[in-house]
Every structure is written in structure tokens, then in C-alpha cells.
Structure 1
């Protein structure tokens, strides 16, 4: 729908020759408005300019108008994705689509289970609390967004929507409460939303069969466990801020490289927001959010990386032997609170019936059942486990990004993050034009000290800390936090530097290897553990450049070098072990698989020797051999020639222990398994990675570079297997931006790797994907002059 340009108000201007420096007020005044640009009786007015690749630039005089413009523009680009998610978070999928259809892209549970979960998460009292927590500016943004989205539906007409939702009865007008539901989904994305199927599956032990919703949920979870599927909403990222001591021109420079799904509601979109005199910010966000989540202003640029800090904990409840719905609190047992939710379900004959499900809540959170992924963590007659998520009480996400978007300096940005503590699960990495680089791991983290964890800890399960369910183990309180039970900003990691800071989803520990960050609660930031491959290659590339040891002249980073580093597609762990793999090859002409099948290694080893140790479009089949090989050995610490050393964490572990006969035998078997698995697919020996990995856009298959996170590829991509043996990208590099500063202001180059529009018929469904494939970076028009001169410029006013 991005390509549709329809007049939606009395004043519509399309073309170039107008001077925009006077801002929206002058434009709207020319359309007959009053001094403020509003016509009497209007509640909302905005200007939407589009530039090449469909990027929207929205300008308004107030937050209500800004939200109106963003809601309209995002509906143009992503109406079916948004409508589908509004249906989901309202708990209404089963009403329109039936209860048994699968709601989750990873097929973890069906519409019925999804509706039960979201009916509980987004119950009326929670939405009331969320609305009361919003500052006036955010309330106006939400009201405006709903009005803009609804206006688009009216103007476009249901019959002209993209094929995915054309004439669908579930596409409807929305209110600000729909947006609050969506915000609660986003804030809890890495918390209760990730555990949703296990919350629905929780039922107390009974002599008879579990109720139907729990039975269905458990069956789906058992299938998912066998298939090894993970959450569809997982996130990751790389971020680097270079200070004045590290850049060629002595000013700040930033890399933002989030890794998000390539489809669905967490598929990012670009936007530029202007409130004349108050806000001028450009970047990207998630659909439904009327603010920039990652971007830049004239004074600073920032990005986010998914933090390793904890935002939820599990609690182990001791149960009453006579009643598994009662748990011990001190010397007495307390009954769990039962919360019944009721949903509408469409039957095959079209009739609607109501079905109910009961959730069980304790003072420590909602009870869940995890035996499908963590044996022993089910609900028994002796124990149950409850989940508490700090972000279910965090209603400040939009207030946080509004404050960041409005900040006039890096200092104001930092102050807002420390004051609001509303960013739900992201580190903040930023730099200003003067070359001060900032890292902050400031999110709502449960206040559990290291001493308290030592007394209350019961280990970990499903990647979360498990605490004893006793009053002593409740989260503590600081006096000045915006919600109870979380750590205050003074006890969260933050560092400013003039060389660089970086993060690639490990803890804050090696944000700057020269100044390790330690001394925090393990829930906040851990140290002394092996780092991920993206962390290590990021540090390696930065340190080599700034030391002048990367084969390039000088010891400072240029924008071109930062771009090349980001998309170098080096396979870090191949660099650490491939010399040893080739040594193994030379001494092993034939090896046996784990099943005893003899495999001749000569041809595969020749391809491995020729492989460039990258995940480029031109990389050969060696990438595939190594991928299978490394997956088999990477979880076994004994294979490393140089084991992990906390005194040298950015360079260890490395090499393979070829001198150990048992280890060498294990490695030969892993290599034989890898070669056998790849060769059994029937792929041509001369196939390239670009022929294997791609993104389908209509009839065109776009080859995509980048590789697996597990291999330490900075430009991370995840795929699903296709019937023909090829792979479709489903997750990875999404909005990629590099920003530099000079006396002329910011200069930003970027990709939205999967393109702006989710409508396959849009001219902007594949245009940036093609550019990303070719590594042809796109300069972002930011000033009025740049926007007006853009070859794809168009402009409209919308009002009501």
C-alpha cells in the first residue's frame, strides 16, 4: 500500500518546488489553517513526506498530529501485520479464525491458547493502570495514532487492502486501548510473552486428565521441544559507539545493527518525526510505536542491543501436601488466586461459543509448567514454579522513547534513561557529535543482590534465575525507582568513553575491554564467562583498526571502514579453528560417521581449503561443511586447544586439541558427519552461499549474505530450510545504520534489510533488500533540503 497516494484532506501537495524550511506551520497556513496550522474543528493534522524506498517523514505541530501521521503511514506500509497483531493481543483470534488454527509462527500453541494468554495479560485493570501511567504527550500520541490508522482504513477501503487481509472481518478500527495491549506485548516480549505457552499449560496435578486448554498446550509444547523450535520473537543486535579518539575526524560515529525477525509484528519500519522546535529524529521502530526506537538527531545517535540482564525470575513454591493449589508462606499455607478468563471461539459451522481457562497466581507470580523444556520443573504435589516479570508492571516504554526522541543532548538522553527506566530489554549505546560515547545497561532488573541470590538461589531454568518462594526472597525495593522491586539507575552499569564502547548481547563486562565492568548483581551483569562469537569478532575488528593492525593505513576509523567491518561476513570461529581442521584433513583421507558410515574427505577438504572463511554470496560450499562440523563440537569444552581464560576473554577459547587422541577421534567423526550430511543433500560441489541463502520477493529470489550467530558472524542471519535444500532468511540483520557527524551535521547511511513495506505488491517490498544484497548503502535524507531534493519525494497533508 506504500505506493498508494490518495488525497485525504482539502489541501494536498505533491511534488518538489516548495520551500519546507519554514516547517509545517507555513505549509498548513497556506492551506487555510489558523496561525497554529489547525483548521477550526480539526483534532489532528500532519504532513507526510515520502522519499526513496518509501521512507516516511512525518511532521506535525503537536503529539496528537504526529501520532495521526505515523498511524496513517504505518498502516500504508504494514496494515495487515498490524491488524493481525491487534487481533492477537486482544485475545480474539479464536473468535474469527477458529480455536485450533495455530497462532504462533513457531507453532507453539493454537489460537485458543493464544487468546487465553492475552486475555489474561491485557485484562481491563492492567490497561487502566497502563493508561493512568502515560504522560499527556504519550496519551495524545496514542489517540492520534489510532485516529490515523482508522483514517487509512476509511480512505483505502477494505476491498483495496493487501491480499493478506483484504475484506477480512477481523480488520477493524482501533482505539488507544488496542495500542496499550500492543505496548504490553512489546514490553514483555522477552518475559511472559516468551513463556506464554507454558503459562497456559499450567494445571495442578489431578487424578484425572488435565482440562482441554492445558492438554492442547502441553501437546504442542512436546512437539516443539522435539523440533527444537524457539520463540518467534527473539531479538539480538550489535552496537558500537566510537568517540573522538577513535574516528578520523575526531567526532562521534555510531553503528546500530539490530537482529530481528524478517516477518510479523517485530519487523522494524523506518520513520522520521518532526515537531518544529521540539523534536527532529530519524531512524526505525516497531510497528504500532509512534516514536523512533533506534536513530539519530542533529546532536547525537543511538542504538539498542538486547541486554543479558534479567527481567524476570522463577520462584520455587513449596506446596501443601493436602492441596497442590496452596503454597507455603512462612509457617502457613496460602491459597493460590484463581483467575478465570473467557474467550469466544468460532466453530467449524460458524457458530460462536464461549470457553474458559483458569490461571493460578501466587504472591510470587503466575504458575507455569516447564517439564517439556526443563525436566523436573513441572507442577507436582510437592512443588510448583511461578514466574514474575518486572516488565508487566513497566508502563513507561513509550514515555522513555518520547523523552529520548525529545532530548537535545547526550546528557539529556542519559538523564532520561536513568530517570524513566522504561526501556524494557535493551542496552543503550549512543554517541554525540562531540565524540563522547555512552553505554548504559539500564532496564527494569529485579532487585536481587548477590548476597540474596546466594541465600535464595535454586539454580537456573530456561535461562532464568530460580529463587526460593519465601518472603525473604522477594525482590527488594530502592526508594526512588519508578516501580517497586527493581534496581535503581545508580546500581546499573553505565560508562562514557572517548575511544569506543560496544555490545553484541553479552553482559556489560567487556563493553570496553580496557575498562571491564564488574561488581554487579548477577541479574544485572555477569563477568568471567566465555563471550559469544559476535562479541569477540566485534572487539577483534575494532582493536585491530585502532591499533593499525588490520592492513589498512592509520589508527582511526572512517565511515567506510565501519561499514566494511559491519558487513565483512567473517566467520569468527572458522578463523579460530580452520587451520587445525585442515591439518586433520591432511591426515584423514577417510573417517567414519557416528553411524559407522565411511566417508572420503578429500573433495570436501579441498573445498574447505579453498573457502574464504566468510559468509559472502560468493563463499563456497566450505561454509556448509564448517557449519555442520562446528555445531557438533562447539558445545564440548574439551575440544579447545587453548581453553577459555577469564584473563584473556576476547581471544579464548581457540584452536583444537589435536594432540589428544580421543579428541582427535571425536573431531574426525564430527567432520565425517558434516561432510556426509551436506553431500547427502545433493548440492553441487561448486554451489555458492548466495545460491543457498536468500529471501523470496515475489518471483525474484534475492541472495542474502551473512551467517549463523553460532559461528560468530557479525552480520547474523537465521534461516528455515526449503524443500529444494535452499534456505529462506527469517531472522537477522534488520535496520542497519551507521551515523557520523561533522560541522555540517549528521550523515547517516542505512538499510532496512527486508524493505519498508510488508505488502508483496508494494514497490517498496524488495527495493532495499536488493540494495542490502549488493551492499549498496543508502544515504538517508534528513534535512528539509535533502528531503525535498530526493528523487522519490512526494508529500501530502492529512487532517480530520
Structure 2
């Protein structure tokens, strides 16, 4: 009887898409194999069935985050998450995520649509059979088009549109990047450069620890050529970065100039007309009805559209935002084909689709090809304008319509130095000095990154450029908690070391401890505790200002702040970093090392009794070795565990290993997975 009820619920959930009518998935044909760490390995005959199993397994572990991704497609983000969530509903309408999905629907490959159909079918099935977990009764069923539209919003926000919205809403001009660099690490090492004769790949994106942007680890294997393991974000239907039988890749966020902001010239006699090439053009206007949790009435807001794109109004006038992320819908389709690539030629062909609008991509394979590209939908812009500032929105000269081809983007393949790396720094500083690309070879208006960071400088301090790299050293570099000899922050924090303790006796002990600090971020380090409080204070004090040294007055005021903070919250000033900074999971907490922009980093938020808890950092770490024969060797560690559900045995079972910088062994071998399985079951 129960199976008949489930079948009826699934049928109801599927009538919203003709794809569902064509795709009849039998959950009994899908195996979810949980290993000893609870990581799901999904096995089935078809890719669509594997996607179904993936959606089911992830829903078991974190259904809440998966739902948050699709809430805007139904205008329910504000209804569930309140005022802050309503901004997501507004952005979904403003950037026309639904409209672009309809317009570009035919660009998606049939095999990908089958994959998504399986994935969405499982989400609807899970929602129907777990109604108490559903965030809002009107959210399900969702359609395949709902799902794709939600991915358009996600990439638009990832590309920096949220920052543009905040600037316009707050009537603010463009400002310098903030002090806190929340970045990622990746590297690819040629087999000729390693002591083992294997190619090495590091996959280490620094993401929030929890929620929709936290990485989820999974292994997907079908009889249609899919066998890949790695990380995906909430709602991801395939692996976003990881490794298959032949190759692997890693992503880091890039900060090249992919987006532009314009101020429109408005008609003084018609408040909804703007000038474009000498003519007055009507803004397109729609009304968005926002439903906000706790607010009994629907809030109406206008959204505007100009030739430049999404448009907002503030006290200074009308401003438009233009970027490629909300012009294409196939980023997940591209990732899916990257998952299935068998060699570099197929992988590069997937990249050449140019549906994925951002991210550095680091690559290695068993054929000893290493590759790196600063990937972007980079607009082809006219010279003569400052494209990093607000642009005139009254001329076709600033209205770009095309993007650079993939061959025009900064990229390397098999440099003679034998290594490539990226830590969100410049792609012109990606390898040995003799192999680095020249910035002059690329258009200035593209805004490619041209800076080092603490992590990039420290990486080069550690990497043996004139010798071969051992696997042990490869891992040690990743887990390093040491700043470089000269700090690389936007503001010249090094000037804090010049303050004389004898001139300011009331802060002498703090100043002396700070000046004697070894620039390490170990949990038992006293200087690191002083630095973290100093860093957080200066970040707030100097946000938006140009790079400059810290003045004596600012340094004294900072030490005063640190001393008062420590005395108030800890009753002493000789605390170590682990007293101040905690790794928190549920009702448990651990002393935690790592500082912002270290190779093993953390970024924090206030916790309790003056402590700070990590809200982002390493997330999922993967070390991969490729030999010419056999499957790649894979080691991983997750900061918390496979499940986001308190009480689950895998909620925090990787914490101790992470703190000890240990890893677990993963495999793509089906027989080994089944042999060592903790649990085998079907989605039901």
C-alpha cells in the first residue's frame, strides 16, 4: 500500500514537466552506498538515475539548503527567510532569471535535460514523502525550468551582482576591495616535477562552512561513462570540481572585471525615459510583489530594465548592471560535460562552450597534462573608458554585446617549470617566473588580476622550484599556517610592528608580544590572537579606503581596543588563538588555528563570551595523484562531516581529523566501495 501511495505522490509531482512524463525512474534500480564516513556513492545504469540518487542522498543530509536554492523561483525566499530573503526574490525578478531561461532553453543538451529531470524528480519525491521538512507548502513541486532559473540567479550572484545591488541601494560609489580575502587554493604539478613520478592536483575551494554555498562530497557512477567524485554545492546535480578516472580539476574564484555598472541619463520631462545615442528610450517597468515572513501585507517594488540590463533607482538616479552570468543558462550543462570528459581535448571542448561565466580552472590528468585558465565571460569593451568605475549609460560605445573567445583568456598548458597554482591572485603570477604570461599581452579594459596575496607569496616561499616535490611536501604546503615574511594585505599592517612599547607603557606587553609574533596561525599561538583581533578591528576601521600604512594614532587605538576586548571577555591578555577562535558544530566546540589569507585559513563571526567561530575556510580538501596506469589516488577531508543533520553520526566525525590535518582515502573503484560499504540502500 505504501508503495502505491508513493507512486501517486511522485506522479502528481511530475505532471509539471513533459520531461518527467518521458523519464520513468525506478528508485529500486539505484544504489546509494554510504562509506564509513557517510559519503554517498551513487550507482545506477543511467546518468539520470544517478542524478536521482544524488538528489535523494543530499536531501537526506541537507534538504534545507537545497530548498533555499530554489525558493526564489517561487517568490518564497522572503516568506521563509524574512527581509533578507526577500532580496533574493527581488534579484530573481530584476535579473530576469525566468525570462532568460525561457529564451535560451533550446541551448541545453538533451542528455543534460534528462539528468536534470532525474534530479528534480527525486527532489519532488523527497518533498512529497517528507512533508514536515518542506520549508513552505507552495514550494513543491518544482519543474526543470524552475531549477535551471535558480542556477542562473546563483551564478549571477556569484559573479558579484550582490555587491552591485548593495552599492546602488546604498547610494554608494565603487570602492576598493575589502581587506578580508576569502579565497581558495589550487595547484597542478607535472609528473616530471614530483618525486613519485605522478601528477598532483590540489582541490581546495574556501567556502562557507554551512548552508547552500558549503561543499557536499559525493561519488557518481553510471554505465553511461560517468564516474566522478568531488564537491558540489547545494542543489548541484553533478560534481562541480573533482576527479574522474582520467582527469581532475579545481575551481577558485577569480576577480577579473566581468561586470559593469552604468548611470542612465534621464529625461527631465519623463522620469521613465533615458537617453541612448541621442534618443529618449522608455525603461521597461514591472512590479514585483514581495512576500515577507512576519509582514502581513505584500510589498510592491518596481524592477526596471534598460538596454544595459537590470536597472535600479536610488537617490542619485537610475543605474544599470550588465554581466554575462544572466545571459546564458548552461553552466550546469557544461559542468556535466566536464564530469564526463575522458581527456584534455574533451575537457577543453566542454570549456569552449563558455556557459560557465567565471572561476579559475586548474587541471591535471593521467597523461601528465597540467593546465590553468582564468575563465570568464569577458566582455569585449571599447578602450577609453574607466571600466572599473560607474560608466555613462547614454551611448552604444559603452554597451558591449560580445565576449572574448576562450583562446583570448589567460591560460597555460604544460609550462616548462612543471607547476601551476592559483590562490585567487594574478594569473600572470601562476608558475615559474620564466613561464608567466605578460599582462601587456591582454587588453587593459579586461581588468585581469595583477596582485599577489599572502597565500600566493607563501606558496612560492614553500614550493621547491629547483627540486622535485614530494607528496608529503605537497600536503604540507596546503596545510601551512604561516604568513609570508612580508604581509600582503591591502592595508599596510606591517606598520603596526613599528610601534614602540616604551612609548606606550600601558600597552607594552601587547605591543611586545605582537612585535615578537612569528606570523603563524597555530591554535596555541599568543601573537595570532592579538593579530586576529587587530585584523578584524582594522578591517572595519579602514574599509573602502585606499591602501596605506597604519598611522601611529590608529595603531595605539587598535592596541587599546585589543586590550579592552581581551580583559572584558577573558580577564587577561595572554590568551592564545584557540582561546579566541573556535570550530563550532552543533553544541560542540574546538580550539581552532588558521588566519585569514593563510593557505589553511579561517574567517570568523562573533560567537559567545567574546569568542569567534569559523564561518568559512577550508571546507572540502582533495589531494589527487595521477599515474599513467590505474585509477587516480584520492585523499580528502571535510571540515565537519557528510551530514548537516545534528544527531547523525556523520555530523561532525571528520572534525578531529581536520584539526590534525589528516585525510581519508576515497576511491572510484566500484568493487572497493561496495566491499567497504557502511550501508547500501535505494532511494525510498
Q: TM-score, normalised by structure 2?
A: 0.86
Q: Is 1:415–2:322 an aligned residue pair?
A: no
Q: Is 1:402–2:339 an aligned residue pair?
A: no
Q: Is 1:368–2:297 an aligned residue pair?
A: no
Query: Using the alignment, how far apart are the partners of 2:96 and 2:493 within structure 1?
Result: 54
Query: Using the alignment, how far apart are the partners of 1:362 and 1:668 within structure 2?
Result: 47
8 Å contact kept, 1:130–1:180 = no
Q: Is 1:516–2:436 an aligned residue pair?
A: yes
Q: Is 1:531–2:531 an aligned residue pair?
A: no
| Equivalent of residue 705 in structure 1, options 568, 580, 593 | 593
Structure 2 residue ranges without an equivalent (≥5): 5-22
8 Å contact kept, 2:273–2:282 = yes
Aligned residues: 650
Of 191-200 and 747-756, the range deviating more from structure 2: 191-200
Q: Tell me by how many angstroms 1:564 deviates.
A: 1.0
Q: Tell me by how many angstroms 1:720 deviates.
A: 0.5
Q: Tell me by how many angstroms 1:490 deviates.
A: 2.0
Is the partner of 2:71 in helix, strand or coil?
Answer: helix
1:558-569 paired onto structure 2 within 5 Å: 558-569=470-481
Distance 1:72 1:719, change over 3 A: same
Distance 1:130 1:229, change over 3 A: same
Match of 1:489 in 2: 406
8 Å contact kept, 1:626–1:674 = no
Distance 1:58 1:469, change over 3 A: farther
8 Å contact kept, 2:507–2:560 = no
Distance 1:732 1:522, change over 3 A: farther
Q: Tell me by how many angstroms 1:310 deviates.
A: 2.4
Distance 1:589 1:170, change over 3 A: farther
1:263-412 paired onto structure 2 within 5 Å: 263-276=210-223, 278-344=225-291, 354-369=298-313, 378-380=315-317, 384-412=318-346
Q: Once the two structures are superposed, what CA deviation does each residue of 1:704-754 show, in whole Å capped at 9, x if it has no partner?
A: 321113xxx122211111231111111221111111123443111111213
Query: Using the alignment, how far apart are the partners of 1:459 and 1:282 within structure 2?
Result: 38
Is the partner of 2:346 in helix, strand or coil?
Answer: helix
Q: Tell me by how many angstroms 1:152 deviates.
A: 2.6
Q: Is 1:69–2:50 an aligned residue pair?
A: no
Query: Using the alignment, how far apart are the partners of 1:770 and 1:172 within structure 2?
Result: 38
Query: Using the alignment, how far apart are the partners of 2:168 and 2:554 within structure 1?
Result: 43
Q: Tell me by how many angstroms 1:488 deviates.
A: 1.0
Query: Using the alignment, how far apart are the partners of 1:332 and 1:458 within structure 2?
Result: 24
8 Å contact kept, 2:461–2:484 = no
Match of 2:526 in 1: 620
Q: Is 1:781–2:663 an aligned residue pair?
A: no
Q: TM-score, normalised by structure 1?
A: 0.74
Query: Using the alignment, how far apart are the partners of 2:190 and 2:608 within structure 1?
Result: 48
Distance 1:473 1:669, change over 3 A: same
Is the partner of 2:641 in helix, strand or coil?
Answer: coil
8 Å contact kept, 1:575–1:613 = no
Match of 1:447 in 2: 380
Of 248-257 and 573-582, the range deviating more from structure 2: 573-582
Query: Using the alignment, how far apart are the partners of 2:632 and 2:243 within structure 1?
Result: 8
8 Å contact kept, 1:187–1:391 = yes
8 Å contact kept, 1:590–1:599 = no
Query: Using the alignment, how far apart are the partners of 1:347 and 1:675 within structure 2?
Result: 39
Query: Using the alignment, how far apart are the partners of 1:442 and 1:245 within structure 2?
Result: 26
Distance 1:291 1:300, change over 3 A: same
Q: Tell me by how many angstroms 1:292 deviates.
A: 0.6
Structure 1 residue ranges without an equivalent (≥5): 1-6, 10-39, 105-110, 202-217, 371-377, 477-484, 548-554, 592-597, 640-662
Distance 1:632 1:93, change over 3 A: closer
Query: Using the alignment, how far apart are the partners of 1:612 and 1:785 within structure 2?
Result: 48
Is the partner of 1:420 in helix, strand or coil?
Answer: coil
Distance 1:60 1:620, change over 3 A: same
Is the partner of 2:114 in helix, strand or coil?
Answer: helix
8 Å contact kept, 2:59–2:66 = yes
Match of 1:15 in 2: none
| Equivalent of residue 600 in structure 1, options 507, 510, 525 | 507
Query: Using the alignment, how far apart are the partners of 1:576 and 1:445 within structure 2?
Result: 27
1:37-56 paired onto structure 2 within 5 Å: 42=25, 45-56=29-40
Distance 1:566 1:783, change over 3 A: same
Query: Using the alignment, how far apart are the partners of 1:783 and 1:446 within structure 2?
Result: 43
Q: Is 1:103–2:71 an aligned residue pair?
A: no
Q: Tell me by how many angstroms 1:762 deviates.
A: 1.8
Q: Once the two structures are superposed, what CA deviation does each residue of 1:107-137 show, in whole Å capped at 9, x if it has no partner?
A: xxxx3x4433324445643332353322111
Match of 2:503 in 1: 590
Match of 2:361 in 1: 428
Match of 1:505 in 2: 424
Q: Tell me by how many angstroms 1:171 deviates.
A: 6.0
Query: Using the alignment, how far apart are the partners of 1:295 and 1:132 within structure 2?
Result: 28
Distance 1:96 1:536, change over 3 A: closer
Is the partner of 2:206 in helix, strand or coil?
Answer: strand
Query: Using the alignment, how far apart are the partners of 2:397 and 2:177 within structure 1?
Result: 36
Query: Using the alignment, how far apart are the partners of 2:76 and 2:179 within structure 1?
Result: 21
Distance 1:510 1:85, change over 3 A: same
Distance 1:42 1:589, change over 3 A: closer
Q: Once the two structures are superposed, what CA deviation does each residue of 1:124-166 show, in whole Å capped at 9, x if it has no partner?
A: 43332353322111111111011112233344x334x4xxx6x
Distance 1:570 1:441, change over 3 A: same
8 Å contact kept, 2:569–2:609 = no
Distance 1:546 1:347, change over 3 A: closer
1:578-727 paired onto structure 2 within 5 Å: 584=498, 587-591=500-504, 599-601=506-508, 603-608=509-514, 611-625=517-531, 628=534, 632=538, 639=549, 665=552, 669=556, 672-673=559-560, 675-683=562-570, 684-709=572-597, 713-727=598-612
Q: Tell me by how many angstroms 1:254 deviates.
A: 0.8
| Equivalent of residue 70 in structure 2, options 66, 86, 110 | 86
Q: Is 1:127–2:101 an aligned residue pair?
A: yes
Query: Using the alignment, how far apart are the partners of 1:369 and 1:770 within structure 2?
Result: 50
